[in-house]
A and B are shown apart, each in its own frame.
Chain A
Amino acid sequence: MTTIHYVGVRHHSPACARRVAEVITRVKPKIVLIEGPADMNERLDELLLPHQLPVALFTFANEAGQTRSCWTPFCAYSPEWVALTKGRELGADVRFMDLPGWHGAFTKTQNRYSDRSGELQKHWLEIGEKLGVDGWDALWDHMFEQPVEQEELGERLKMFFAMLRADEEVGDRDIDREAFMLGYIGWARGVAEATDGDVLVVCGGYHAARFEREDPPVLSSPPTIPDVSADIRVGTYLVPYSFKRLDSFTGYQSGMPSPGFQQAVWELGPERAGEKYLEQAAKFLREHKQHVSPADLIAASTMAEGLRRTRGHAVIGRSDLLDGIAAALVKDALEVPLPWTYRDVIRPRTDPLLVEVMHLFSGDAVGSLAAGTPQPPLLVDAWAQLEAEDLKVERGSKPIDIDLTTERGRARSRLLHRMKILDVPGFRRESGPESPTDGKFREKWTIWKDKEADTALIEASMFGPTLEGAAAGKLEESLLNAKGRLGMLAAILKQSVFVGVGTLAMEALTLVADAVATEPSLADLGAAVSQLLGLWQYDELLGAGGTGQIKIILEASFERGLWLVEGLQGTTSSADDGLVKAIGALRDLTHADVDGLAVDRGRALSAMSRKSRDREAPPAVQGAALGFVWALSGEDHFAELADEAGVAMRRAARPDTLGDFLAGLFQLAREQFTRVPTLTGVLDEILRDLPEEEFMLAVPALRFAFTFFPPIEKEAVAKQVAVGYGRGPSEAKSLLKLTVSPREIALAIRVEREVDGVIRRYGLIDELPPVREVGGVPPSRAAGSAGVVAPAADGTASVAPSDGDAGGAE
């Protein structure tokens, strides 16, 4: 008499794995059906090679550039894995019975073995509330992971899943899958009846509850796997997996948490796992620089034991242990709930100690594939190409220095960029040109042997079977995802030139052309313009076809850019140099006029000139606009504009605007500035007159502004300053280098000020040189609406400096 034994499981549950092991050895089924991709049935041998777990089946579908993927992970304590291996061992016919991962039913499922979620979980939580248990993982542990008689466990699981499924009709997500699986069970029944054997069905408890109820009738053949339509590329490969990844599925994709701990439960039994992890926690926390005293550990262990008893557990469970650790070791108020009470990534502001503990419970096991496991063509192609160019390391790391002026150098660079774009770990670019055309010709990389590299490559095979194809596919997907956002498009364009995929760059160009005319952000537009300008000037990168296309885009960008500049308002964008860079890009664009680009220089100049006087515009933009005009106006108007710059500088001389203004000006017209010594004088005067506090406020932005000068030009400015103070130009160097620390200077200034204060208070000297007051300047004066800041020191000198009293010089 044939019996179908249904074992409904929670995926990755050690208790369920034990249950499967018990049933399978007891009933010795003829056929074992497992929830898993049926298209792998022909390749089960591949799965059963002597891999080191965890491993996963990675399935992808690539439909017109859009990819999706689905994981089917296995670890030693997966019920499915136990069914698979034990079934084989017992000589049963073992098969997967679910739809392949590329099927539409998995469109939103990344993890085939995730828990059932949403509405269903509400039942759990209600039961938990009744039992006084928080959260559904704690409830699961409470009911099933404690040591319990096998028969009792089976009953409980059955009852529980029946309740979970209740009368729920099959939803959209499951309709195809459940029909398929039912078909398989029907077929297995027929086969088993013919040989008078039993059938074992191992699948998620939610499905098992329905299957058992329906008890499907005999079918003559298993359901056929639907055909893949011709325009979809699919594939399934085995990949090494890790506990960290298993634990990193979030929200409704997540499964049993803390795989490291579950592994210990599986290997050592629930009795000893708690003990082991308490020991490890102490060691681990100390290694990670958390202070844990022996007394704390005793307390944590006592707490865990106390909680075990209070909750009526036979052995210390996961939540007992974690609760015990939290209670005894965390010595502060928590800002967010304990990480094991909710199902999501660990929230920000979680106590660092708890983050470490969760890390430990995740475990760090990494799987590896047995030799001879079939690998996707990408893996072979990529390593072969890298090896040919001497870019593969077997152990450790090595630096790579590439000369981009040679053909070979560019080829090597392209290979590395392709690996990088596919997110394969083990390739880091240390330095090199920002864009393919910025004039740097050396590229430095560090490459190293990374054990996740193969996994990443296997995953990347969803984008294409060769290295070039996959890189192109990946970029193509980003193009689609960019949805016309110019900033992203420009970045992709740049990348596609680096990785050397010409066709793709053309595709990107078309999208860029569409986006430019409506781009709302000047910063993004500017970034795109500088990319395009570079590509256009070095036209061999894209070929002649691209050049014509770029020219049109550049002209459109010029129009759009001027329009956007006109609209710039507000003072919010102090540190946002994206705008200034954009104006710089427009300058280069206007400047490039000579090459027959149809841009109207006169219109640009008048627009920028207007902007430079617009008090409502951000100071950096005012400065940049002025710089724009100055840089492009030629020698005829040079002196005129130098004067205007002086006036504008004085107008911007407030601590919160000065630095920004100068940063804008210097980025666009640094050269012009250094040619006019009087401007340095004006700046010096402004700075001298700034009250000290305000000067301090202005310093960070000022420093930033001067970073645009190369050292040699800085020295030129310093010379001008030195001369202005009646010193020789040779003393300029001393202005650029501090021989004492800034701290000492600050101290000296303070001491001097205190001494002055004392001297004045006692009227010892009348004719001290004017000393700048600290707090004595009314802010309205410094606000300088009149344009020029008045000198601060005057008759108010008798007022004691604010901190002078603290001196103790008496």
Chain B
Amino acid sequence: MNLRGVDSMQTGDVGCRRYPSAMAKTKTGENPPTLETSNSSTEPSKEERVLQRPPAEVLYAGEIAKLKEGDSGPKPPGWQLSARAIRTFLLGDERLGIRKKFVGNAALIDRAMVTLATNRGLMLVGEPGTAKSLLSELLAASICGQSTLTIQGSAATTDDQIKYSWNYALLLAKGPTTEALVPAPLYTGMKEGRIVRFEEITRCPLEVQDSLLSVLSDRVLAIAELEGDESSLFARQGFGIIATANTRDRGCNEMSAALKRRFNFETVFPISSARVEMELVRDETRRLLERSAVPTMLGDDVLEVLVTTFRDLRSGETDKGDATTRLSVPMSTAEAVSVAHAVAIRSHYLNASRATPADVLECLVGAAVKDSTEDLKKLRAYMEQRVAKRTEPHWQAFYEARHALPE
């Protein structure tokens, strides 16, 4: 008899779940769409219009289908696209009408793909907000057509949410059989040969992290409760794990050496070019605004103030090399986009006018700096020492707004 099952039954966990709990934690907040819907048409599906944030394979179903059609490159076993097509999918190709989705270096993508193709785990590490999760989602969507086999790591993550759990009614009625087994992302990924995403893996307890060891090295999952052939699930071709970890929380220092050895590490850096980051923030903000049905877009002057401020306070120096101080909160590009979005929404709904640099400062305090008084001090110092010296009118306007900083 399965002791663990009984244990959890006694603790009252008898809900008959159709989906493992981790599934419900996927970022879509919805049940994963089936593959058929995402592949059947190149038009935005009905779901896309209703969903707040459709998964990549739905959002880019058209692009993936187009790439598949023209894909003549060699595909690693179990992959739906060749490595070159995937790179095109991520980095974009104007001629094919493929949008650039990931800003970052191509070599990183190459290494990531080869890692997955050579049956090693891929670990994406970096500051929060450097688009690690986005990269992992895009890779999963393009490699196996499904990005929703996702485990969200947290201190409360358990084995059940990673591998499998049981439908206790069936378990009691029929004993441990495959029908009574409720698959979790890892189980499904191995069985179907798909990419499993493990977000924020380092936030899980060490024992939970280490449960991946045998899966990564032997590519087999032991199901002790079942008998015979069913007691081992061998991964099908195409199975792979993409884990992400950010360097702010606990970093990857606490991972066990054994697990580290089974992963290839890739560091995702903030965008190095100011111009590229500016463009990205502009595009992303525009897309978000379209989705929020806000017609006005931020002016370039406002965007410049915003992106430059973020860059300066992130790196601890201006692009010209003058020293500033780094804020303790991560000033990521993603954060910049969300502040830009907030600025536009605010000026549209509240002021009914064009956004000004002053709005940037207010949203910056609320959205980014949050409640850290230290950071507030640093922001004030930045305004006085760096912004004050800039003579352009929009920077002057930004400087004038410093009085709005909370005391």
Q: Which A residues are closer than 8 A to B by beta carbons?
A: 129, 132-134, 138, 293, 295-296, 299, 302-303, 306-307, 309-312, 319, 323-324, 326-328, 330-334, 337-338, 341
Residues of B within 8 A of A330 (CB): 265
Least Cβ–Cβ distance between B237 and chain A, in angstroms: 16
Binds A, one of B103-111, B181-189, B349-357: B103-111
Q: Which residue on chain B has the smallest CB distance to residue A320?
A: B110
Contact, CB under 8 Å: A331 / B106: no
Check if A333 sits within 8 Å of B264, measured CB to CB. no
Contact across chains for B265 and A323 when beta carbons are under 8 A apart = no
- For this complex, 8 residue pairs linking A to B, each with C-beta atoms less than 8 Å apart, are A311-B110, A323-B110, A327-B115, A331-B263, A333-B267, A334-B265, A334-B267, A337-B269
B263: chain A residues at CB < 8 Å are 331
Which residues in A have their C-beta under 8 angstroms from that of B113?
A: 310
Task: List the B side residues contacting A129 at CB < 8 Å.
Answer: 106
In contact, B105 and A310 (Cβ under 8 angstroms): no
- List residues of chain B with CB within 8 A of the CB of A338: 107
Q: Are A299 and B120 CB-contacts (below 8 A) given A132-B106, A333-B265? A: yes
Q: Give B residues with C-beta under 8 Å from A.
A: 74, 83-84, 87, 91, 105-107, 109-111, 113-115, 117-118, 120, 125-126, 245, 247, 251-253, 260-261, 263-267, 269, 272
18 further contact pairs, Cβ within 8 A, besides A134-B106, A296-B261, A303-B115 = A132-B87, A134-B107, A293-B261, A302-B118, A303-B111, A306-B118, A307-B110, A319-B107, A323-B107, A323-B111, A327-B114, A328-B264, A333-B265, A333-B267, A334-B265, A334-B269, A337-B269, A338-B107
A101 to chain B, nearest CB (A): 31
Top 9 nearest A-B pairs (CB, nearest first) are A306-B114, A334-B267, A333-B125, A132-B106, A134-B105, A310-B83, A134-B107, A327-B111, A331-B260
Which residues from B are CB-within-8-Å of A319?
Answer: 107
Contact call A306/B251, Cβ cutoff below 8 A: no
Mostly, the B contact residues are mixed
Would you give the shortest CB distance from A119 to chain B, in whole angstroms?
A: 15
Contact flag A132-B91 (CB < 8 Å), given A302-B118, A303-B264: yes
Collect the chain A residues with CB atoms within 8 Å of residue B253's CB: 332
- Please tell me if the beta carbons of A295 and B91 are within 8 angstroms of each other in the complex: no
Nearest-neighbour CB distance to chain B for A474, whole angstroms, equals 31
- Contact at B114–A310, with CB atoms within 8 Å? yes
Interface of chain A, main secondary structure: helix
Q: Would you call B247 and A331 a contact (CB within 8 A)? A: no
Give every chain A residue within 8 A of B87 (Cβ-Cβ). 132, 310
CA distance A457 to B109 in the complex (A): 49
- A332, B247: Cα distance in complex, Å: 10
Residues of A within 8 A of B106 (CB): 129, 132-134
Q: Across the interface, name the chain B residue whose C-beta is closest to A331.
A: B260
Whether B265 lies near A306 (C-beta < 8 A) is no
Whether A138 and B118, one on each chain, are in contact in the complex, defined by CB atoms closer than 8 angstroms, is: no
Q: Looking across the interface, which residue of chain A has its beta carbon closest to that of B246?
A: A333
Say how far B238's CB is from chain A's closest CB, in angstroms: 16
Query: Shortest distance in angstroms between A700's beta carbon and chain B's nearest beta carbon?
Result: 29
List of A residues within 8 angstroms of B115 by Cβ: 303, 327
A302 to B109 CA separation, bound complex (whole angstroms): 16
When the two chains form the complex, which single residue of A302, A328, A333 contacts B251, counting CB atoms closer than 8 Å? A333
Chain A residue with the shortest CB-CB distance to B257: A331
Task: Check if B118 sits within 8 Å of A299, measured CB to CB.
Answer: yes
Closest B residue to A308 by CB, please name it. Answer: B114
Question: A327 to B113, alpha carbons, bound, how many Å?
Answer: 11
Cβ contact within 8 Å between A341 and B117: no
How far, in angstroms, from A327 to B266 measured CA to CA in the complex?
A: 7
Task: For the complex formed, measure the closest distance between the CB of A709 and the CB atoms of chain B, giving whole angstroms.
Answer: 42
Q: Which residues of B contact A334 (CB under 8 A)?
A: 265, 267, 269
CA gap between A333 and B255 in the complex, in Å: 12
- Complex alpha-carbon distance, A302 and B260, angstroms: 18
Which A residues are in CB contact (< 8 Å) with B83? Answer: 309-310
Which residues of chain A are within 8 angstroms of B267 by Cβ–Cβ distance? 333-334
Assess whether B265 is in contact with A332, with CB atoms less than 8 Å apart: yes
Centre residue among A132, A302, A319, A330 by max chain B CB count within 10 A: A132
- Give the CA-CA distance A334 to B114 in the complex, in Å: 19
Which residues of chain A have C-beta atoms less than 8 A from B74's C-beta?
Answer: 309
CB contact under 8 A between A138 and B107, given known A303-B118, A337-B269: yes
Name the B residues within 8 Å of A332 (CB-CB). Answer: 125, 252-253, 265
B261 touches A307 (CB 8 A): no
Considering the complex, give the chain B residue whose CB is closest to the CB of A337.
B269
B271 to chain A, nearest CB (A): 12
Count chain B CB atoms within 10 A of each CB in A299, A302, A306 and give the residue with the most.
A306
Nearest chain A CB to B98 CB, angstrom units: 12
In angstroms, Cα B106 to Cα A323, docked, is: 11
Are B114 and A303 within 8 A (Cβ)?
yes
What residue in chain B is nearest A128 (Cβ atoms)?
A: B106
Looking at the assembled complex, report how far the CB atom of B350 sits from the nearest CB atom of chain A, in whole angstroms: 40
Q: Is the CB of B265 within 8 A of A331?
A: yes
Most buried by A among B111, B114, B260, B272: B114
In the complex, residue of chain B having the shortest beta-carbon distance to the beta carbon of A328: B264
**Contact between A307 and B251, CB atoms less than 8 A apart:** no
Q: How far is the CB of B330 from chain A (nearest CB, A)?
A: 14
B260 to A: closest C-beta gap in Å: 5
Q: Is the CB of B118 within 8 A of A333?
A: no
A296 proximity list for chain B (CB < 8 A): 261
**Complex CA distance for A307 and B114, rounded to whole angstroms:** 6
The smallest C-beta distance from B210 to any residue of chain A, in angstroms, reads 15
Docked-complex contact A331 and B261, CB < 8 angstroms: yes
CB distance from A406 to the nearest CB of B (A): 54
Nearest-neighbour CB distance to chain A for B346, whole angstroms, equals 35
Closest residue of chain A to B117 (Cβ to Cβ) is A306
CB <8 Å contact, A333 and B114: no
